[in-house]
Structure 1
Amino acid sequence: MTERQATASDPGFDDDVVIVGSGFGGSVAALRLVEKGYRVRVIEAGRRFEDRDFAKTNWDVRRYLWAPLLGCFGVQRIHRLPHVMILAGAGVGGGSLNYANTLYQPGAAFFTDPQWGAVREWESELAPHYTTAKRMLGVVEQYPHIGPVERIMAGAAEDLGVSDTFRRAPVGVWFGRPGETVSDPFFGGEGPDRTGCTMCGNCMVGCRVGAKNTLMKNYLALAERRGAVIEPLRTVVEVRALDSGGFAVTTQRSGAWVRRARRTVRARQVVLAAGTWGTQQLLHRMKASGALPHVSSALGRLTRTNSEALDGAVATRVPESLELARGVAITTSFHVDDRTHVENVRYGPGSNLMGALATIMVPGDLPFVRRVAVLFRRALRAPLRQLRLGSLRRWSERGIIALVMQTADNSLTLSLRRRFGRQVLTSAQGHGEPNPRHLPQAHRASEAIARRVQLEGGVPAEARGSWPEVFGIPLTAHFLGGAVISASPADGVVDEYHRVWGHPDLHVVDGAAVPANPGVNPSLTITALAERAMSYWPRNGEHDERPEQRPGV
């Protein structure tokens, strides 16, 4: 197939389009392409979850954590690079299964970033696609409840002198009547039944209630009804360009030690939407092996972490009157300064596992040895207090996580290295400012939140950092970039239509294409970018109006 003409389904191929991954980009692609008459197959490494299948708390590690070689097929992936620790999603529905259902739109600086600002007038062009994304994801523009945490965050913003930036978050949740199940309220009855939010706080463990607007409640449900095929628990190990056109996509059973049951399907076009980690890993390996020989050498550059930190505040005992664990995962935010955004985050009662990442907050600008010395000195100064603060018992009910994001222009460059005979991703500092090991603004915000917890709850509270931060490795829940939109292959990996430079029937439609730090949760932006990309695809068999990639470019 040429770029200019989309042909009807070809019996020489198993599918017209194979989509690798089922997160925000892959789900949009699945629905919009099956609506346009394509035979669509979605391949997902993770398992499929019904509401009842999610873990009750994150102590149920087999249902919560993703470690398939150990028999854990949960929703929470954790990856580590030399410069960052990454929290990501797994399962049919990707990151929507364990994200905080928070759907902000970035500010103007994101759309005019030099990496892509000259390619299009992105803010106006994406505006209608943001509208569509909000409708499809069921966005409630303002979290409708005010409780103790919301008052604490408002008070912290006031103490920091930024109360004018405080707002309640836009969230993708069906509130309805708590616990009451109704027929689909979003798509005229075509979608699944929904149950009103009970404020259990476990959005990021997996919503067992059925209130969270995961992708299985909208895009994927509708795509399946229209004929898209979803294959769970299959990991893509190779995408190879065929000399005759199209691609061979090889998969195996996720987590298999033996009997991997490898099989290959042929597709006219492929959409990579495996999340930034998965998409980058595939592209790096396929470029190195020669399976995708024309992928730009810019692959891996401008990998972003959203310039994030995960800190927070915790009390020595549960302030019973505050109910810190009640509500949806993220409900409010404020700006410490013009590029630093702070959100409160919660887990529900009993979901205390992630508290193991928290520890005493230490100054991040000190050398490692001095950071460790400060940590031990503070621990020994008040050992009983620190034991209480560091205890995992009822951790989610005693504290507030502070998720801090920035629009700062910093990045990493990812590449492959060999370790124990395997090719794995590694990182180096990239373009712009160094990727931060800590954020002073996060420390200030956490200290302000701790003071307000103590004031509101009448119990001792303290700002907390994370163990990775002690070792100079920040945490991020929003790993982006590395296969970014660009004007040419010298500057990025995909063109403005998300076609891979040099492989125009291969597309990157997920967070890996995002070229700049949005400074807010990126899920809505990934959805809007995917909606725009799919809007340019022709109907199957119709003329393709997108311009051809210029030879040699």
Structure 2
Amino acid sequence: MDHKSFSRRHFLQGATLFSASVATSVLTSSRTGATIGDEYSEAVVIGSGYGGAVAALRLGQAGIQTLVLERGRRWEIPSQNNQDVFATYRKPDGRAAWLSSTTLFGDSVDTYTGVLETLREYGATPLCGAGVGGGSLVNNAGVVVPKSRYVFYQVFPRSIDYDQLLDVYFNRVRKILEPSPIPADVLATKYYESTRLFQQHASRAGFANYLIDLAVDWNAVRDEIAGTKVASASIGEIWFGCNSGAKKSLDRNYIPLAEQTKYVEIMPLCVVTAISQLPNEKLYRVSYNRINTSGKILETKTVTCRYLFLAAGSIGTSKLLVKAKATGKLPKLNDHVGKNWGTNGDTVGHRSNLPPIKDQGGFAGAILEHYDNPISPIILMNYPQWNNPIGSQECLGMGIPKANGVFKYDARTESVNLYWPSYLNSNKQHIDATKLTYKILDDANFKDGKQPSTEFVYQNVAHPSGGATIGKACDQYGRVFGYKGLYVVDGALLPGSAGGANPFLTIAGLAERAMDKIIPKIKHGGW
């Protein structure tokens, strides 16, 4: 059967054939609690970001019928014939924002199912990707490894073998994403002057520094520089998508590989509203709204499954679990669910009084490490801000904040809210650590009567982390305590931080590690 004709009906029928016992029980509502209106899939994955895409591929390769529910739309992969897939900073429109009349930067736009959601929570403003490919559509593409074993174990439990994670699972992700640092010829162009300056300053200050491996097609960037493709990555267009096709987002690797197994179907524009376990404790029900690109609900549906993988992102997964516990749908969830959330230590600092650099380049190209910071370990990256004044530079910092965020259910509004106590001393200490790193960096680079300085450092939540953390709400493989067949495979697993790193490689690596353990157990009827 041609993949394009692999329809939803055929998919769901095929799913019931995977297990005759399940197929029989689904059709008999009196025995299972399922209703005739429920559709069925052996496995359901909620979300198609780094955790969800990994889970979908490995389930498909194992021959397990899998339905992936993604709230966002499927975006065309930019090509020579269409280099206007995404909105831009310079000309923002509804494609830049998830069902909002304003973008991240406050521009007024039409309401649309755009690629980036800006949440307004209590004490934090997390950013979340939306679309087939999840956060990979909007992230910086930096494949950053938590390089220090000492720092890694400040965050993660010792049950995770650090060397195995690096040598086996991170490398498995790398083989699919094929990341690489900025090539010398690209780095030498005017577009990457800011990256070169950042490395020069880091070296002068005595910091270990290096070019970041990026999930980027550098030939596409070369085409941008040559003028044969629309300028995008080279001019700092990141968070709203990349129109030159330079970004190796998941819709170009993991997701098509999953679909090629013929066991995986991706359903975009499906917003999951609730999860529950049926009375027989063998199946899960997922309730979702199918919407159009304006956010209008077209129909409300349910699907039951034997195996449920939560990959809706740290915020989405945590909110689904907290709501399920509070409403009695998953009453056996433990008290750690909805706790231990953090910001990954994300900060933004603005350096000024620098040499007259004009071009910022695209994607954070280099990193400095200050793991021996006496207050707390810190890393900084040069971060391309397209409209920075000449002689200034934006940097993105990461570290290890206290994971003090909590999700709470509001019965009055039937919603879940995040509370991040940004005023706590623990967070102040993290900011102080970051400021110290900037001070060392700036003080070491006084030259020609110019003293660089960092005017402000503020928290930014581009990498929300935690809420269903490993070793607390879930075991070391993401199995949710209290429930067989329920798994978390996304950023909700992280204990508030990836250990001084951009978290997406850690998320994907942990998901690969989890699926290595989960798949054999599923095949033998366990877990």
What is the TM-score normalised by the length of structure 1?
Answer: 0.75
1:332 to 366, 389, 393: 366
Which amino acid letter does the alignment assign opposite residue 176 of structure 1? N
* Aligned-partner Cα distance in 2 for 1:177–1:95: 21
1:342-382 alpha-carbon deviations (Å, 9 max, x no partner):
0011144xxxxxxxxxxxxxxxxxxxxxxxxxxxxxxxxxx
Shift of residue 30 of structure 1?
A: 0.9
Q: 1:67 to 1:443 in 2, by over 3 A?
A: farther
2:266 to 230, 245, 249: 230
1:18 to 44, 53, 64: 44
Whether 1:442 and 2:423 are equivalent positions in the alignment is: no
8 Å CA contact 1:340–1:406 kept in 2: the answer is yes
Which amino acid letter does the alignment assign opposite residue 64 of structure 1? A
Q: Secondary structure at the match of 2:53?
A: helix
Q: 1:247 to 1:331 in 2, by over 3 A?
A: same
Whether 1:300 and 2:338 are equivalent positions in the alignment is: yes
8 Å CA contact 1:110–1:516 kept in 2: the answer is no
Aligned partner of 2:283 in structure 1 is 246
Aligned partner of 2:481 in structure 1 is 501
Q: Secondary structure at the match of 2:219?
A: coil
1:86-142 alpha-carbon deviations (Å, 9 max, x no partner):
22222111110110010111121354347621x343433553011101111111156
* Aligned-partner Cα distance in 1 for 2:456–2:488: 35
1:276 to 314, 318, 340: 314
Shift of residue 308 of structure 1?
A: 2.3
Aligned partner of 1:100 in structure 2 is 140
Shift of residue 278 of structure 1?
A: 0.4
Q: 1:519 to 1:263 in 2, by over 3 A?
A: same
Aligned partner of 2:54 in structure 1 is 28
8 Å CA contact 2:43–2:309 kept in 1: the answer is yes
1:407 to 400, 409, 416: 400
Aligned partner of 2:122 in structure 1 is 82
Q: 1:124 to 1:22 in 2, by over 3 A?
A: same
1:42 to 63, 68, 84: 68
Structure 1: gaps of 5 or more residues: 1-6, 182-193, 349-393, 487-491, 549-553
8 Å CA contact 2:112–2:295 kept in 1: the answer is no
Whether 1:65 and 2:101 are equivalent positions in the alignment is: no
Whether 1:162 and 2:202 are equivalent positions in the alignment is: no
Q: 1:535 to 1:541 in 2, by over 3 A?
A: closer
Whether 1:175 and 2:218 are equivalent positions in the alignment is: yes
Shift of residue 239 of structure 1?
A: 0.9
Q: Secondary structure at the match of 1:529?
A: helix
Q: 1:437 to 1:113 in 2, by over 3 A?
A: closer
Whether 1:525 and 2:517 are equivalent positions in the alignment is: no
* Aligned-partner Cα distance in 2 for 1:212–1:109: 32
Computed over aligned residues only, the root mean square deviation of the Cα atoms, in angstroms, reads 3.4
* Aligned-partner Cα distance in 2 for 1:124–1:340: 24
8 Å CA contact 2:322–2:409 kept in 1: the answer is no
8 Å CA contact 1:177–1:196 kept in 2: the answer is no
* Aligned-partner Cα distance in 1 for 2:267–2:86: 19
Structure 2: gaps of 5 or more residues: 1-17, 27-38, 79-83, 102-109
Q: 1:542 to 1:520 in 2, by over 3 A?
A: closer
Aligned partner of 2:245 in structure 1 is 210
Whether 1:424 and 2:454 are equivalent positions in the alignment is: no
Q: 1:419 to 1:462 in 2, by over 3 A?
A: farther
Q: 1:207 to 1:301 in 2, by over 3 A?
A: same
Which amino acid letter does the alignment assign opposite residue 517 of structure 2? Y
Q: 1:345 to 1:264 in 2, by over 3 A?
A: same
8 Å CA contact 2:380–2:398 kept in 1: the answer is yes
Shift of residue 524 of structure 1?
A: 0.5
Whether 1:479 and 2:515 are equivalent positions in the alignment is: no
Shift of residue 411 of structure 1?
A: 1.2
